[in-house]
Amino acid sequence: MDPRSTPQRQARAVRLGPRSVTALALVSAVGVVGFGWPFLTPPTSRISAHAQDAPWLFAGLLVLLVSVVAAAISESGLGPKAVAMLGVLAATGAALRPIGAGTAGIEPMFFLMVLSGRVLGPGFGFVLGSVTMFASALLTGGVGPWLPFQMLAMGWFAMGAGLLPGPDRLRGRAELVMLAAYGLLAAFAYGTVMNLAGWPFMSALASNVAFDPHAAVAANLARFLAYCLATSLGWDLGRAVVTVVLTLTLGPAVLRALRRATRRAAFETPVTFDAPRT
Protein backbone atom coordinates (compact mmCIF):
# COMPACT_ATOMS: atom_id res chain seq x y z
CA MET A 1 0.00 0.00 0.00
CA ASP A 2 1.21 3.47 -0.84
CA PRO A 3 1.93 5.19 2.52
CA ARG A 4 0.85 8.48 1.03
CA SER A 5 -2.68 7.12 0.64
CA THR A 6 -2.92 6.25 4.32
CA PRO A 7 -4.59 9.02 6.33
CA GLN A 8 -2.28 10.48 8.93
CA ARG A 9 -3.44 11.39 12.40
CA GLN A 10 -3.99 15.12 12.58
CA ALA A 11 -1.81 16.76 15.20
CA ARG A 12 -3.62 18.70 17.91
CA ALA A 13 -2.36 21.87 19.52
CA VAL A 14 -3.69 20.66 22.89
CA ARG A 15 -4.36 17.14 24.07
CA LEU A 16 -7.08 17.22 26.72
CA GLY A 17 -6.21 15.21 29.81
CA PRO A 18 -8.57 13.97 32.54
CA ARG A 19 -8.07 17.12 34.61
CA SER A 20 -8.90 19.41 31.69
CA VAL A 21 -11.92 17.35 30.66
CA THR A 22 -13.23 17.42 34.24
CA ALA A 23 -12.78 21.19 34.52
CA LEU A 24 -14.41 21.72 31.14
CA ALA A 25 -17.37 19.51 32.06
CA LEU A 26 -17.88 21.35 35.35
CA VAL A 27 -17.76 24.82 33.84
CA SER A 28 -20.11 23.70 31.06
CA ALA A 29 -22.56 22.38 33.64
CA VAL A 30 -22.45 25.68 35.53
CA GLY A 31 -22.79 27.50 32.21
CA VAL A 32 -25.93 25.54 31.35
CA VAL A 33 -27.40 26.57 34.69
CA GLY A 34 -26.24 30.15 34.18
CA PHE A 35 -27.92 30.36 30.77
CA GLY A 36 -31.01 28.28 31.47
CA TRP A 37 -31.89 29.02 35.08
CA PRO A 38 -35.18 30.77 34.13
CA PHE A 39 -36.44 27.37 32.90
CA LEU A 40 -34.77 25.28 35.60
CA THR A 41 -36.23 26.97 38.67
CA PRO A 42 -39.87 27.05 39.77
CA PRO A 43 -41.57 30.43 40.23
CA THR A 44 -41.43 30.01 44.01
CA SER A 45 -37.65 29.57 44.17
CA ARG A 46 -35.39 32.21 45.66
CA ILE A 47 -33.46 32.55 42.40
CA SER A 48 -36.62 33.60 40.58
CA ALA A 49 -37.24 36.14 43.34
CA HIS A 50 -33.88 37.71 42.43
CA ALA A 51 -34.32 37.69 38.66
CA GLN A 52 -32.44 40.96 38.23
CA ASP A 53 -29.51 39.83 40.38
CA ALA A 54 -29.02 36.26 39.14
CA PRO A 55 -27.42 37.18 35.76
CA TRP A 56 -24.80 39.26 37.57
CA LEU A 57 -24.07 36.39 39.94
CA PHE A 58 -23.63 33.91 37.11
CA ALA A 59 -21.54 36.40 35.11
CA GLY A 60 -19.08 36.78 37.98
CA LEU A 61 -18.97 33.04 38.55
CA LEU A 62 -18.38 32.27 34.87
CA VAL A 63 -15.40 34.64 34.74
CA LEU A 64 -13.65 32.58 37.39
CA LEU A 65 -14.64 29.23 35.94
CA VAL A 66 -13.64 30.04 32.36
CA SER A 67 -10.28 31.21 33.70
CA VAL A 68 -9.87 27.94 35.60
CA VAL A 69 -10.66 25.89 32.49
CA ALA A 70 -8.25 27.89 30.35
CA ALA A 71 -5.54 27.39 32.97
CA ALA A 72 -6.24 23.66 33.21
CA ILE A 73 -6.09 23.25 29.44
CA SER A 74 -2.91 25.30 29.29
CA GLU A 75 -1.26 23.08 31.89
CA SER A 76 -2.18 20.01 29.81
CA GLY A 77 0.14 20.98 26.98
CA LEU A 78 -0.35 24.49 25.60
CA GLY A 79 3.28 24.97 24.62
CA PRO A 80 4.98 28.05 23.15
CA LYS A 81 4.14 27.12 19.56
CA ALA A 82 0.48 26.63 20.44
CA VAL A 83 0.46 29.95 22.32
CA ALA A 84 1.85 31.68 19.24
CA MET A 85 -0.84 30.09 17.07
CA LEU A 86 -3.47 31.06 19.63
CA GLY A 87 -2.30 34.67 19.59
CA VAL A 88 -2.40 34.91 15.79
CA LEU A 89 -5.84 33.35 15.43
CA ALA A 90 -7.33 35.28 18.37
CA ALA A 91 -6.01 38.58 16.99
CA THR A 92 -7.39 37.72 13.55
CA GLY A 93 -10.78 36.80 14.96
CA ALA A 94 -10.92 39.93 17.12
CA ALA A 95 -10.07 42.06 14.06
CA LEU A 96 -12.76 40.36 11.95
CA ARG A 97 -15.57 40.89 14.41
CA PRO A 98 -15.92 44.70 14.11
CA ILE A 99 -16.13 44.46 10.29
CA GLY A 100 -19.84 43.75 10.38
CA ALA A 101 -20.67 45.10 13.83
CA GLY A 102 -24.23 46.37 13.84
CA THR A 103 -24.95 45.12 10.31
CA ALA A 104 -27.50 42.29 10.18
CA GLY A 105 -25.30 39.65 11.75
CA ILE A 106 -22.40 39.95 9.31
CA GLU A 107 -19.81 38.43 11.64
CA PRO A 108 -16.99 36.73 9.70
CA MET A 109 -15.14 35.67 12.84
CA PHE A 110 -17.49 32.71 13.31
CA PHE A 111 -16.28 30.81 10.25
CA LEU A 112 -12.68 31.18 11.45
CA MET A 113 -13.63 29.71 14.83
CA VAL A 114 -15.27 26.73 13.10
CA LEU A 115 -12.26 25.96 10.90
CA SER A 116 -9.73 26.54 13.69
CA GLY A 117 -11.57 24.27 16.09
CA ARG A 118 -11.81 21.62 13.40
CA VAL A 119 -8.08 21.57 12.67
CA LEU A 120 -6.61 22.30 16.09
CA GLY A 121 -8.98 20.29 18.25
CA PRO A 122 -11.67 20.89 20.90
CA GLY A 123 -9.31 21.95 23.71
CA PHE A 124 -7.59 24.58 21.62
CA GLY A 125 -10.97 25.57 20.17
CA PHE A 126 -12.45 26.31 23.59
CA VAL A 127 -9.50 28.46 24.63
CA LEU A 128 -9.43 30.21 21.24
CA GLY A 129 -13.15 31.01 21.32
CA SER A 130 -12.97 32.43 24.84
CA VAL A 131 -9.80 34.46 24.25
CA THR A 132 -11.01 35.79 20.90
CA MET A 133 -14.28 37.03 22.37
CA PHE A 134 -12.44 38.67 25.26
CA ALA A 135 -9.97 40.38 22.91
CA SER A 136 -12.71 41.57 20.58
CA ALA A 137 -14.65 43.00 23.53
CA LEU A 138 -11.59 45.02 24.54
CA LEU A 139 -11.16 46.15 20.93
CA THR A 140 -14.77 47.23 20.45
CA GLY A 141 -15.53 48.43 23.97
CA GLY A 142 -18.05 45.63 24.45
CA VAL A 143 -17.12 44.83 28.05
CA GLY A 144 -20.09 44.20 30.31
CA PRO A 145 -21.96 41.51 32.26
CA TRP A 146 -22.69 39.74 28.97
CA LEU A 147 -18.99 39.18 28.20
CA PRO A 148 -18.49 36.02 30.35
CA PHE A 149 -21.52 34.47 28.67
CA GLN A 150 -20.13 35.39 25.25
CA MET A 151 -16.75 33.87 26.13
CA LEU A 152 -18.31 30.61 27.26
CA ALA A 153 -20.71 30.42 24.31
CA MET A 154 -17.94 31.10 21.80
CA GLY A 155 -15.74 28.55 23.56
CA TRP A 156 -18.51 25.97 23.10
CA PHE A 157 -18.95 27.08 19.49
CA ALA A 158 -15.29 26.50 18.56
CA MET A 159 -14.95 23.40 20.73
CA GLY A 160 -17.93 21.77 19.01
CA ALA A 161 -16.18 22.06 15.65
CA GLY A 162 -13.25 20.13 17.12
CA LEU A 163 -15.58 17.34 18.22
CA LEU A 164 -17.03 16.72 14.75
CA PRO A 165 -16.36 13.24 13.34
CA GLY A 166 -13.59 12.28 10.94
CA PRO A 167 -10.82 14.76 11.84
CA ASP A 168 -8.16 12.49 10.33
CA ARG A 169 -9.98 10.96 7.36
CA LEU A 170 -12.77 13.23 6.17
CA ARG A 171 -11.58 15.70 3.55
CA GLY A 172 -12.83 17.59 0.52
CA ARG A 173 -16.41 18.55 -0.23
CA ALA A 174 -17.90 16.24 2.39
CA GLU A 175 -15.92 17.94 5.13
CA LEU A 176 -16.86 21.40 3.89
CA VAL A 177 -20.55 20.50 3.80
CA MET A 178 -20.32 19.12 7.34
CA LEU A 179 -18.56 22.26 8.61
CA ALA A 180 -21.04 24.52 6.83
CA ALA A 181 -23.97 22.60 8.33
CA TYR A 182 -22.39 22.83 11.78
CA GLY A 183 -21.76 26.56 11.32
CA LEU A 184 -25.39 27.07 10.30
CA LEU A 185 -26.81 25.31 13.35
CA ALA A 186 -24.20 26.62 15.78
CA ALA A 187 -24.75 30.22 14.65
CA PHE A 188 -28.42 29.97 15.59
CA ALA A 189 -27.54 28.15 18.80
CA TYR A 190 -25.08 30.88 19.77
CA GLY A 191 -27.70 33.57 19.24
CA THR A 192 -30.26 31.62 21.24
CA VAL A 193 -28.07 31.05 24.29
CA MET A 194 -26.96 34.68 24.23
CA ASN A 195 -30.62 35.70 24.22
CA LEU A 196 -30.97 33.63 27.39
CA ALA A 197 -28.18 35.66 28.98
CA GLY A 198 -29.87 39.01 28.37
CA TRP A 199 -33.54 38.12 28.46
CA PRO A 200 -33.92 37.99 32.28
CA PHE A 201 -32.71 41.60 32.50
CA MET A 202 -35.92 42.80 30.83
CA SER A 203 -38.70 43.96 33.06
CA ALA A 204 -41.90 41.94 32.80
CA LEU A 205 -43.83 45.21 33.01
CA ALA A 206 -42.06 46.60 29.94
CA SER A 207 -43.05 43.92 27.46
CA ASN A 208 -45.17 40.81 27.09
CA VAL A 209 -42.11 38.91 25.80
CA ALA A 210 -39.98 39.65 28.87
CA PHE A 211 -39.09 37.10 31.51
CA ASP A 212 -41.71 36.89 34.24
CA PRO A 213 -40.32 35.31 37.44
CA HIS A 214 -43.85 34.60 38.65
CA ALA A 215 -45.00 32.79 35.48
CA ALA A 216 -44.87 29.06 34.81
CA VAL A 217 -42.07 27.53 32.75
CA ALA A 218 -44.33 26.95 29.74
CA ALA A 219 -45.45 30.58 29.74
CA ASN A 220 -41.88 31.84 29.98
CA LEU A 221 -40.81 29.51 27.19
CA ALA A 222 -43.49 31.01 24.94
CA ARG A 223 -42.31 34.49 25.93
CA PHE A 224 -38.71 33.57 25.16
CA LEU A 225 -39.54 32.17 21.72
CA ALA A 226 -41.47 35.33 20.92
CA TYR A 227 -38.54 37.39 22.18
CA CYS A 228 -36.12 35.52 19.87
CA LEU A 229 -38.40 35.93 16.87
CA ALA A 230 -38.93 39.61 17.53
CA THR A 231 -35.39 40.67 18.36
CA SER A 232 -32.69 38.37 17.00
CA LEU A 233 -33.96 36.07 14.26
CA GLY A 234 -32.74 38.35 11.48
CA TRP A 235 -29.35 38.81 13.15
CA ASP A 236 -28.92 35.07 13.73
CA LEU A 237 -29.93 34.32 10.14
CA GLY A 238 -27.35 36.78 8.84
CA ARG A 239 -24.65 35.24 11.04
CA ALA A 240 -25.56 31.74 9.86
CA VAL A 241 -25.61 32.67 6.15
CA VAL A 242 -22.26 34.49 6.36
CA THR A 243 -20.70 31.55 8.20
CA VAL A 244 -21.95 29.06 5.59
CA VAL A 245 -20.90 31.18 2.61
CA LEU A 246 -17.41 31.86 3.95
CA THR A 247 -16.94 28.24 4.96
CA LEU A 248 -17.84 26.98 1.48
CA THR A 249 -15.84 29.62 -0.41
CA LEU A 250 -12.79 30.28 1.76
CA GLY A 251 -12.84 27.05 3.74
CA PRO A 252 -10.58 24.95 1.47
CA ALA A 253 -7.78 27.54 1.46
CA VAL A 254 -8.04 28.26 5.19
CA LEU A 255 -8.14 24.57 6.11
CA ARG A 256 -5.03 23.90 4.01
CA ALA A 257 -3.21 26.84 5.59
CA LEU A 258 -4.14 25.76 9.12
CA ARG A 259 -3.15 22.15 8.51
CA ARG A 260 0.12 23.17 6.90
CA ALA A 261 0.91 25.44 9.85
CA THR A 262 -0.01 22.65 12.26
CA ARG A 263 2.32 20.17 10.54
CA ARG A 264 5.19 22.63 10.46
CA ALA A 265 4.67 23.61 14.08
CA ALA A 266 4.70 19.93 15.13
CA PHE A 267 2.80 20.75 18.32
CA GLU A 268 3.20 17.25 19.73
CA THR A 269 6.99 17.31 19.34
CA PRO A 270 8.65 18.72 22.48
CA VAL A 271 10.81 21.78 22.06
CA THR A 272 14.48 21.06 22.72
CA PHE A 273 17.49 23.29 22.86
CA ASP A 274 21.02 22.37 21.88
CA ALA A 275 23.61 22.46 24.62
CA PRO A 276 25.97 25.42 24.32
CA ARG A 277 29.25 24.61 22.67
CA THR A 278 32.34 24.86 24.82
Local confidence pLDDT in tens for the 278 residues of the chain: 444 444 556 656 566 777 777 777 877 887 787 788 777 766 655 555 545 555 565 566 666 666 666 665 666 566 677 778 888 898 998 888 877 655 656 788 999 999 999 998 888 888 889 889 888 888 876 777 778 888 889 999 999 999 999 878 888 899 999 999 999 999 999 999 989 887 877 765 567 888 887 788 888 889 999 999 888 888 899 899 999 999 999 999 999 999 988 877 666 555 454 555 55
SS3 111: helix
pTM attached to this predicted model: 0.80
Instruction: Please tell me the distance from the alpha carbon of residue 58 to that of residue 231, in angstroms, as a whole number.
Output: 23
Quick check: helix, strand or coil at residue 97? Answer: helix
Q: How does DSSP classify residue 11?
A: P
Amino acid at 137: A
SS3 82: helix
User: Is the Cβ–Cβ distance between 69 and 24 less than 8 Å?
Assistant: yes
